């Protein structure tokens, strides 16, 4: 059965690009207006088999809502996808770079291309998202107006690609989780993601993390977030190298269950080695 993958945004979004990077170009995609709609689609729509969720960007940091939705859901992480984000300057057919006076895009994309826009004396106009800006430009072209989005969006909406890789900082990667209902088979290199809360006493976090250190398990991420139903009591999102089925990982999880007040496993999944993406 061919997978159908839900994503947040309109077609041509960077999330769709990540889907195609992972599943191939023949994959079916299912656009969703919001991240909440994305979770609803895979939980209630029989057509959707997977979802792709942006969880952090190397420049902008974590996507807070994504982690909150993950904690509230029983979906399992299937894989990690690292997308190298490249912004393209798009315009209606026949429009030249020197004709542009303004471009529309998501504020984050505009900020990431600030020096390029200043160099060409182009005004940045914030819009809801990148691919949506490209679609709107194709549907309702305006004089002297372009958009910043992916090359995929330019191709989908039949826009001219005036320039590529216009981002000021080349170190722009977004990390995604592929989600589904079941657990994936272990890969050659695996990570495990979980969320936990500590007991309210001195050294509680130190003791929890010490269980990993004592066993030589490498942590690749730890981040605290507010616990919505308990003010001033944070939860910690943690990634570590290894699969929960590995004996040493089972051992550390058992110890964490004893030390922490709350633990939820989000999944063990095939992951991307950082050296392979230049980070």
Question: How far is it, in rounded angstroms, from Cα 120 to Cα 152?
Answer: 23
| Sequence-separated (6 or more) residues with CB below 8 Å from residue 140 | none
| Distance from C-alpha of 45 to C-alpha of 174, rounded to nearest angstrom | 27
Beta strand 123-126 with 50-57: parallel, antiparallel or unpaired? unpaired
Write down the catalytic residue from 176, 196, 212, 236. Answer: 176
Q: Is 192 a catalytic residue?
A: no
Burial of 150 (0-12, 13-18, 19+ CB in 10 A): buried
* Catalytic-role residue among 4, 130, 145, 174: 174
Report how far residue 120's alpha carbon sits from residue 98's, in angstroms, rounded to the nearest whole number.
Answer: 8
Residue 252: count other Cβ atoms within 10 Å of its Cβ: 21
DSSP assignment letter at 186: P
Q: What angle do CA 90, 177, 265 make, to 5 degrees?
A: 160
The C-alpha atoms of residue 26 and residue 3 are separated, in whole angstroms, by: 9
176 is annotated as an active-site residue: yes
43 contacts 75 by C-beta, under 8 angstroms: yes
Sign of the Cα pseudo-torsion (203, 205, 210, 211, in order): positive
The answer to whether the CB of 90 falls within 8 A of the CB of 134 is yes
- Can you tell me which residue has the tokens 């690009």? 17
How far is CA 189 from its chain centroid? 20
Is residue 130 within 8 A of residue 148, CB to CB? The reply is: yes
What are the catalytic residues? 174, 176
């Amino acid at each position: 059965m061919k997978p159908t993958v839900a994503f947040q945004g309109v077609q041509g979004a960077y999330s769709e690009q990540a889907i195609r990077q992972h599943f191939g170009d023949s994959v079916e995609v299912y656009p969703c207006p919001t991240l909440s709609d994305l979770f609803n689609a895979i939980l209630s729509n029989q057509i959707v088999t997977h979802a792709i969720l942006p969880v952090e960007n190397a420049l902008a940091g974590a996507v807070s809502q994504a982690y909150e939705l993950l904690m509230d859901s029983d979906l399992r992480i299937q894989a990690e996808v690292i997308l190298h984000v490249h912004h393209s300057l798009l315009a209606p057919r026949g429009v030249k770079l020197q004709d542009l006076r303004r471009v529309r895009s998501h504020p984050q994309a505009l900020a990431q291309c600030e020096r390029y826009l200043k160099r060409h004396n182009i005004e940045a106009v914030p819009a809801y998202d990148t691919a949506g800006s490209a679609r709107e430009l194709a549907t309702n072209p305006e004089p002297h107006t372009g958009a910043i989005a992916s090359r995929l969006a330019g191709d989908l909406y039949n826009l001219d690609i005036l320039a590529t890789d216009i981002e000021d900082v080349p170190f722009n990667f977004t990390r995604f989780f592929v989600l589904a209902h079941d657990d994936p088979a272990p890969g050659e290199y695996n990570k495990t993601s979980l969320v936990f809360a500590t007991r309210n006493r001195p050294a509680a976090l130190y003791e929890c993390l010490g269980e990993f250190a004592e066993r030589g398990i490498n942590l690749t991420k730890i981040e605290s977030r507010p616990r919505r139903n308990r003010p001033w009591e944070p939860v910690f999102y943690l990634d570590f190298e290894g699969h929960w089925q590995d004996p040493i990982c089972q051992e550390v999880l058992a110890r964490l269950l004893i030390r922490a007040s709350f633990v939820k496993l989000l999944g063990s999944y095939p992951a991307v080695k950082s050296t392979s993406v230049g980070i």
